[in-house]
Amino acid sequence: MTNSALDVLGKDFTFPQALSDFPSKLSEFADLCIGHFTTSDGVRLAYWAAGAGEPLVFIPGWSGNGAQYVNLLYALKRHYRVYVLDVRNQGLSQRVDYGNRIARYAVDLRDFGDHLRLQKANYCGWSMGAAVLWSYVDLFGTGSIRKAAFVDEPISIYAHSNWSEEERRNAGGMTTSVERMVAAFTEGAPTNNLIVDMKAIERYSQMDSPYFINSESFANEFVKNDPKALSRVLFDHAMNDWRDVIKHKMNIPVAIFSGEQSNNLPSQRWAQSVIPGAKLYNYSDAEHGDHFLMFKNPNKFSADLRAFLDE
């Protein structure tokens, strides 16, 4: 059961940038809906939905939420029934102090599919959302997944001290101290690029796309993040190494998205090399090829994703 986003959020919203191919107000996106369901361990999760047709499920990254996907929901709703799941402790979902592990988030994703009665769907995980989807595959296999897309997620965030530089790059290792990474991301604690790769944070702060300005402004208006709640999953997320899952369990069509302005690109190339038939979409700097490419360049991303899903 879903309700109009306008009714759930309680007021209209005017997007700060006027874009001819997207609504100027929330009220102009009439079929955007928000629903809720309860997981098997009793947590109330929210999800965003629009459109009709073959199901396409998005899983946001760490600290992300469905409001950030407003442009993608609008661009893709003419072709798919599009869903975005707000994972626990994020977006409009319940804040809880239990179950904050990537494996539990994967179970939540399965609960979501059961709630929607999805027999088979396309899935797209961005950042931590990709890790949730890798965990889902690890635990439950690929029987319910038609095709999968992964957007710019390191395969192992933690860089082990005994790795060679090639191993680190192939895995995407971006920190040598998970505790300091968590403190930097949740408390603004000081760090440096030798301890934590801050490229994604730097690219976020540029706000160099009108589409991104609109989606972030919308999200910031209606979603109030709790840094303490967000921090609960981050350590577990950073300590997982998904190379075995990617190398041995991806027996479905896979698309990988990254860009020239992402330090994750080498690991995405490695993933493509070990997944049979995987496609890599490498966005240039001019195409906003960084960690936020899908939000900064929603027209290109939605066209590329459609081409992959429809072929």
Residue 73 lies in a domain: yes
Task: Show the domain range for 127.
Answer: 2-155+209-221+241-310
Residues of the chain with pLDDT under 50: none
Quick one: pLDDT at residue 305?
A: 98
Token pair recorded at residue 224: 């109030």
Residue 186 lies in a domain: no
Residue 111 lies in a domain: yes
- The C-alpha angle with vertex 60 and arms to 279 and 253, in degrees rounded to 5, equals 25
Backbone angles phi, psi at 100, to 5 degrees: -90, 70
Residue 99 lies in a domain: yes
Backbone angles phi, psi at 33, to 5 degrees: -125, 160
Quick one: pLDDT at residue 256?
A: 99
Residue 204 lies in a domain: no
Give the CA dihedral 289, 291, 297, 298, nearest 10 degrees: 140
Between CA 55 and CA 82 the distance in angstroms is: 6
Between CA 150 and CA 138 the distance in angstroms is: 15
- CATH, residue 283: 3.40.50.1820
Residue 171 lies in a domain: no
Q: What is the count of structural domains for the chain?
A: 1
Burial class (CB in 10 A: 0-12, 13-18, 19+), 176: middle
Residue 166 lies in a domain: no
Residue 191 lies in a domain: no
This prediction has a pTM of 0.97
